[in-house]
């Protein structure tokens, strides 16, 4: 299948940003936009009970040549400009540039994974990022020359809800829905944001069945907040709030909202922006350079576990992508390693009074033009402190 490899599966995630009607205020900042996140069910085999951005595993139908036939109905110029948009930035990470079986190489991987992100967002939240085919044909929407806002379908619930259920049960129904409703997935407003490869977690070395994902993260800015409702089959909650709001809730000791490291880091990047238009402009400009694939390497030290990303002084020259090698170990405590290896992009897991505690540090410049994230300092009464440098 197109998305299944020996050690990981390919997936796509959407950081969906929507302009707010009123300012969104927290103790850290005031913004004019919110971000969509969902809480995964406790029954989920991957990241149970954690808050995540909408997204999921790619399906064979995301790579169907029928999509090109549908987009071609908008006209030759739209297809030509779409190709330019998809090829912007040159060759991408492995999930985009790898050689696929012929039946899955009829369309750009850059198109397929955007379709995947839009489809999964529709399944999980009911928000359909799509444009009317006739409008695209008449307005020549391409997104190749400047950033554009995403379009959420305004079709009635009576039309979309039955389709959402059908797509949730069978991903191949997504293209059938788009054909019948005369819609095109709004791929032009999805800008490549980052790429994460799931690390080999403690206890997984030597295993071949652990769930690991190679995930493309896209960012899309909407001009308004659409109606959304979580999918009860996979998630238990849905929330729109600011990046700082989610990060503050992650620190709430009485009623914490749990986030995994990639979500904390990506929210930390968004935290650098308080205006949706500036965030959209930056994401467009940044996507002229293809996103680097971040692969955290698990490293054991004297008093904890480190997850080290590219650019960190500790990052190995030849990372173990398969888990077939013994786990990486280094002598020293978490604190001593900060001094010994001062260029850091790492997550530190240490034992504290209330269990395992995580500290994420990034003081390096991103190689792909991305902003480095801001983080929370737990000792400063929930005030934010940057340990990052741009």
CATH of the domain at 268: 3.90.79.10
Evaluate whether residue 3 is within a structural domain.
no
Q: Return the exposure string of 164-181: e unless at least 16 CB atoms fall within 10 Å of the residue's CB, then b.
A: beebbeebebbbebbeeb
Decide if pLDDT at 77 tops 80.
yes
Residue 231 pLDDT: 81
**Distance between CA atoms of residues 33 and 237, nearest Å:** 20
Residue 379 is assigned to a structural domain of this protein? no
Q: Is residue 374 part of a domain?
A: no
The tokens of 110 are what? 């850059």
CA distance 367 to 256: 33
Region 353-382 average pLDDT = 79
Q: Is residue 385 part of a domain?
A: no
Cβ atoms of 279 and 79 closer than 8 Å: no
* pTM, full prediction: 0.93
- 389 has pLDDT over 90: no
In this prediction, residue 212 carries a pLDDT of 87
Dihedral sign from CA coordinates of 338, 341, 347, 352: negative
Tokens (6 digits) for 130: 């799509």
The count of C-alpha atoms lying within 13 angstroms of the C-alpha of 71, restricted to the half-sphere facing its C-beta, is 26
CA distances from 79 to 5, 161, 181, 232 (A): 30, 30, 20, 37
Pick the most confident of 72-81, 214-223, 318-327.
214-223
Residue whose tokens read 């010994």 = 340
Q: Give the list of residues 6+ apart from residue 55 with CB closer than 8 angstroms, or none.
A: 11, 12, 13, 14, 116, 117, 120, 121, 124, 215
Residue 76 shares a structural domain with residue 186: yes
Q: Do residues 251 and 306 share a domain?
A: no
Domain that holds residue 360: 294-365
User: Is 377 a domain residue?
Assistant: no
Does residue 4 fall inside a structural domain?
no
Out of 98-112, 134-148, 260-274, pick the least confident: 134-148
Same domain? For 236 and 361 the reply is no
Looking at 181-229, which runs of residues are DSSP E strands?
183-185, 191-197, 213-222
Let me know whether 153 and 64 are in one domain: yes
Q: 182 lies in a domain?
A: yes
Query: What local confidence, expressed as pLDDT, does residue 4 receive?
Result: 63
Token pair for residue 63? 């790579």
Number of domains observed in the structure of the chain? 2
From its phi and psi, is residue 83 left (phi > 0), alpha (psi between -120 and 50) or beta? alpha
- Which pLDDT value is given to residue 44? 66
Residues 6 or more apart whose CB falls under 8 angstroms from that of 367 comprise 292, 310, 311
Same domain, 114 and 190: yes
The two tokens of residue 278 are 């500036």
* Residues above pLDDT 70, as percent of the chain: 90
Q: Half-sphere exposure of 51 toward its Cβ, with a 13 Å CA cutoff?
A: 23
């Amino acid at each position: 299948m197109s998305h299944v490899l020996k050690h990981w599966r390919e997936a796509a995630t959407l950081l969906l940003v929507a302009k707010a009607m009123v300012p969104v205020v927290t103790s850290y900042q005031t913004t004019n936009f919110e971000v969509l996140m969902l809480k995964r069910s406790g029954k989920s085999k991957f990241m149970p009970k954690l808050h995540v951005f909408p997204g999921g595993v790619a399906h064979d139908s995301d790579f169907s040549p029928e999509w090109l036939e549908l987009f071609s109905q908008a006209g030759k110029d739209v297809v030509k400009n779409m190709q330019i948009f998809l090829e912007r930035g040159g060759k991408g990470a492995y999930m985009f540039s790898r050689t696929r079986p012929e039946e899955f190489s009829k369309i750009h991987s850059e198109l397929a994974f955007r379709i995947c992100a839009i489809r999964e967002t529709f399944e999980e939240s009911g928000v359909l990022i799509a444009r009317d085919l006739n409008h695209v044909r008449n307005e020549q929407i391409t997104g190749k020359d400047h950033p554009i806002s995403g379009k959420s379908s305004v079709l009635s619930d009576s039309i979309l809800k039955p389709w959402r259920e059908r797509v949730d049960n069978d991903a191949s129904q997504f293209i059938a829905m788009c054909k019948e409703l005369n819609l095109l997935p709004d791929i032009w407003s999805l800008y490549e944001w980052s790429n994460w490869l799931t690390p080999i977690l403690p206890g997984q070395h030597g295993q071949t069945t652990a769930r690991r994902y190679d995930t493309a993260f896209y960012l899309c800015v909407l001009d308004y907040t659409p109606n959304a409702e979580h999918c009860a089959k996979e998630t238990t909650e849905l929330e729109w709030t600011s990046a700082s709001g989610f990060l503050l809730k992650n620190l709430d000791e009485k009623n914490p909202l749990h986030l995994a490291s990639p979500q904390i880091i990506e929210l930390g990047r968004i935290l650098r922006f308080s205006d949706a238009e500036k965030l959209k402009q930056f994401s467009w400009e940044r996507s002229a350079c293809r996103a680097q694939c971040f692969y955290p390497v698990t490293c054991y030290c004297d008093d904890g576990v480190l997850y080290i990303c590219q650019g960190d002084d500790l990052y190995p020259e030849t990372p173990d992508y398969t888990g077939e090698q013994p786990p990486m170990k280094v002598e020293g405590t978490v604190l001593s390693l900060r001094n010994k290896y001062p260029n850091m992009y790492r997550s530190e897991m240490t034992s504290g009074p209330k269990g395992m505690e995580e500290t994420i540090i990034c003081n390096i410049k991103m190689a792909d033009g991305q902003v480095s994230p801001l983080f929370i300092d737990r000792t400063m009464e929930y005030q934010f402190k940057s340990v990052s440098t741009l």
